[in-house]
């Protein structure tokens, strides 16, 4: 169940399918000999849907109402799902030597990949693993930094400091403070790795990382090479951006704090994890005041409610010919942080019943960044809705990068012209200086993200493979962050720390490669959709808003779900069968020329 597995722990599409089996026992059983492979797959689809419905509800309740009771219910549901999945995988082995039609074989293969956290086929170990994962996710969701008994700050409050402050010491305090929540996870994480690797081995994989990499219609080794190839296509653009950003931060904070021949201090980039740098745009604006797309002010001046911000995103999808979201979406989603309880604010999109019960979970603030996240999350919802007619085992993206790329592709169409058309900015100036300003804003998020998106799983793959051990978790983490991102902590870190645990996806067991792939593929998708819309001119100026032709092309790809190998599905939209980062270089050509000019005479690299 590739779909169920990926959505099990996705931030953006968390449905955790960990559920009660229709059996009364956790012990594996043997399928009736008379059951054909096709009948087995049909039964798996029926049972999977039942599990999905029950356990989506359990997980939704937990992440929107964190307490001991909901944690227990969620953990128990996860145990039972793991038991069901282990049983079904064992039963599927009887069909290995049979000649099967392509659809049935694919369904069985996806079933075997259907748990991103495979538990050992031992009831006690299964219980231990699911509770460890639930505990770590709960620790993250309830985490706060307390400088005194009466001075505690939650993650959203600390993120506001990192985004808005320009005081070096205040930024460092907030950065260190959030990382105080993760050291207690360290031993739990080490044990989780042991148990998850044991579960992956029982399914025939070398380790959990190899199992994750098996979900891309190629071998784990081939996929590792493929991700490296894509990174190398865009690495020169990232290096130019890093060089320029470091120089500007040196002007602001002093070269004693930001040396011009080394990594950038991790707390100065406007984001708690230095994964996107858009919040420091004010320090980097190439041409001050030129076509300032101040969407934040519009949202505040017009006092957009969270629901109104979501309506704005829905309207874009409707303009492509897609339906309005069902009434239950508006009744059951979580748009704001409740005042009376702990929740996981990390944005995610949900399908609760494999059909029409769609939801998002967010703690929405009146910012342009949050608005773009909403557009992204609805991309998941519309994808989920499009493939609802597929069998449950095929209800997923062609691979997980597809699911993340859809909403990101739509945000590329939030051009100045589009923002002006829908009343979010007053004008849509498109002088060359205005273009450079906008591209800088985009690159600080989309290009800055690329190495971060790659290294999270690079670290975990090494951990799962035993190349990184608990004795050097933190050192290996920072070695990779420096290697790929060119950033480093401003204060000494040690193995008493567990900085990976301060990033949601690590304790929550969410594979991160999907986001790296999405940041590549969204530009490839956009180029194809703009061609379908009849756009002429520069790629960065294209918005597909209102194009039914682009909508039809997009919908055809979405409806396929995971029913075919991803190159087949990619071809439906792009006409090609290979992921390609060249569209990023095309899109950011104006900015690349600007950065190369600015970096003349500077010593780039780290």
What CA–CA distances, in Å, run from 155 to 166, 226, 482? 18, 35, 24
| Residue 203: both structure tokens together | 């399914």
Catalytic annotation, pick one of 5, 18, 347, 448: 347
- Beta pairing, strands 264-265 & 487-488: parallel
Strand-pair partners of 323: none
Q: How far apart are the first and last CA of the chain?
A: 42
CA distance linking residue 260 with residue 483, whole number of Å: 16
CA distance linking residue 311 with residue 423, whole number of Å: 13
CA distance linking residue 193 with residue 460, whole number of Å: 9
Catalytic annotation, pick one of 174, 404, 512, 545: 404
- Continuous segment of H or E residues that includes residue 147: strand 144-148
Catalytic annotation, pick one of 242, 346, 519, 535: 346
Residues 6+ apart with CB under 8 A from 493: 474, 478, 499
DSSP 194-239: HHHHHHHHHTT-SSHHHHHHGGGSS-HHHHHHHHHHHHHHHHHHHH
367 SS3 class: coil
Q: Identify the burial level of 367 via C-beta atoms within 10 angstroms of its C-beta, where 0-12 means exposed, 13-18 middle and 19 or more buried.
A: middle
CA distance linking residue 46 with residue 420, whole number of Å: 47
Has 377 been annotated as catalytic? yes
Has 536 been annotated as catalytic? no
Has 471 been annotated as catalytic? no
Catalytic annotation, pick one of 47, 79, 91, 377: 377
Catalytic annotation, pick one of 383, 418, 515, 594: 515
CA distance linking residue 602 with residue 423, whole number of Å: 41
Has 540 been annotated as catalytic? no
Q: Yes or no: say if 461 and 511 are a contact pair by the CB < 8 Å rule.
A: no
Question: In degrees rounded to 5, what are phi and psi of residue 94?
Answer: -65, -15
Has 515 been annotated as catalytic? yes
Strand-pair partners of 334: 361
Question: In degrees rounded to 5, what are phi and psi of residue 589?
Answer: -55, -45
- The b/e string for 390-427 (b: 16+ C-beta within 10 A; e otherwise) is bbbbbbbbbbbbbbbbbbbbbbbbbbbbbbeeeebbee
Catalytic annotation, pick one of 376, 399, 403, 535: 376
Our measurement of the distance from residue 15's CA atom to the centroid of its chain's CA atoms, rounded to an integer in Å, reads 14
For CA atoms 216, 217, 221, 227, the dihedral sign is negative
Closest residue by Cα to residue 181 from 481, 499, 491: 499
Strand-pair partners of 154: 144
Provide Rg for the chain, Cα atoms: 23
Catalytic annotation, pick one of 244, 267, 505, 535: 505
Has 149 been annotated as catalytic? no
- Could you give the residue numbers annotated as active site? 346-347, 376-377, 380, 404, 505, 515
């Amino acid at each position: 169940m590739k779909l169920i597995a990926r959505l099990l722990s996705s931030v953006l599409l968390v449905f955790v399918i960990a559920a009660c089996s229709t059996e009364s026992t956790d012990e594996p059983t043997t399928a009736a000999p008379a059951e054909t492979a096709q009948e087995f797959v049909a039964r798996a689809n029926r049972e999977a849907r039942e599990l999905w419905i029950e356990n989506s509800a359990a997980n939704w309740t937990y992440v929107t109402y964190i307490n001991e009771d909901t944690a227990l219910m969620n953990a128990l549901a996860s145990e039972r799902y793991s038991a069901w999945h282990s049983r079904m995988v064992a039963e599927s082995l009887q069909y290995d030597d049979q000649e099967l039609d392509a659809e049935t074989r694919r369904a069985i293969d996806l079933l075997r990949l259907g748990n991103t956290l495979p538990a050992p086929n031992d009831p006690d170990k299964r219980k231990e693993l699911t509770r460890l994962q639930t505990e770590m996710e709960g620790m993250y969701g309830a985490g706060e930094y307390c400088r005194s008994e009466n001075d505690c700050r939650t993650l959203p409050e600390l993120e506001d400091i990192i985004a808005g402050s320009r005081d070096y010491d205040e930024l460092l305090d907030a950065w260190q403070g959030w990382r105080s929540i993760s050291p207690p996870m360290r031993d739990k994480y080490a044990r989780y790795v042991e148990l998850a690797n044991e579960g992956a081995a029982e399914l025939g994989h070398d380790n959990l990382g190899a199992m994750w990499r098996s979900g891309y219609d190629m071998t784990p080794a081939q996929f590792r090479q493929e991700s490296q190839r894509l990174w190398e296509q865009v690495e020169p653009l990232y290096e130019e951006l890093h060089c320029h950003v470091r120089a500007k931060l040196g002007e602001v904070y002093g070269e004693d704090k930001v040396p011009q021949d080394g990594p950038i201090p991790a707390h100065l980039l406007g984001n708690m994890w230095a994964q996107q740098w858009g919040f420091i745009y004010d320090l980097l604006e190439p041409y001050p005041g030129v076509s300032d797309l101040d969407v934040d002010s519009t949202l505040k001046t017009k006092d957009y409610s969270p629901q109104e911000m979501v309506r704005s995103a829905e309207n874009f999808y409707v303009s492509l010919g897609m339906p309005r979201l069902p009434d239950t979406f508006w009744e059951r989603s979580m748009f704001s942080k409740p005042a009376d309880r702990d929740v996981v604010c990390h944005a995610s999109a949900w399908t609760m019943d494999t059909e029409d019960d769609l939801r998002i979970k967010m703690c929405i603030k009146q910012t342009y960044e949050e608005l773009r996240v909403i557009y992204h999350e609805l991309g998941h919802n519309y994808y989920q809705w499009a493939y609802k007619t597929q069998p449950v085992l095929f209800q997923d993206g062609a691979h997980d990068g597809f699911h993340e790329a859809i909403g990101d592709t739509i945000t590329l169409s939030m051009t100045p012209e589009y923002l002006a058309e829908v009343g979010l900015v007053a004008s849509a100036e498109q002088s060359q200086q205005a273009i450079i300003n906008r591209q800088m804003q985009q690159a600080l998020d989309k290009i800055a993200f690329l190495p971060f998106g790659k290294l999270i799983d690079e670290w975990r793959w090494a951990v799962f493979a035993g190349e990184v051990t608990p004795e050097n978790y933190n050192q290996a983490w920072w070695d990779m962050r420096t290697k790929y991102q060119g950033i480093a902590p401003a204060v000494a870190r040690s193995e008493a720390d567990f900085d990976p645990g301060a990033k949601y996806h690590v304790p929550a067991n969410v594979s991160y490669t999907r986001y790296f792939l999405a940041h590549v593929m969204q530009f490839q998708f956009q180029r194809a959709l703009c061609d379908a819309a009849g756009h002429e001119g520069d790629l960065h100026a294209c918005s597909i808003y209102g194009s039914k032709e682009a909508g039809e092309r997009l919908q055809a790809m979405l409806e396929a779900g995971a029913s075919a190998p991803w190159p087949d599905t990619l071809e439906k939209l792009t006409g090609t069968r290979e992921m390609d980062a060249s569209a990023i270089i095309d899109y950011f050509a104006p900015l690349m020329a600007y950065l190369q000019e600015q970096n003349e005479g500077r010593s780039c690299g780290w």
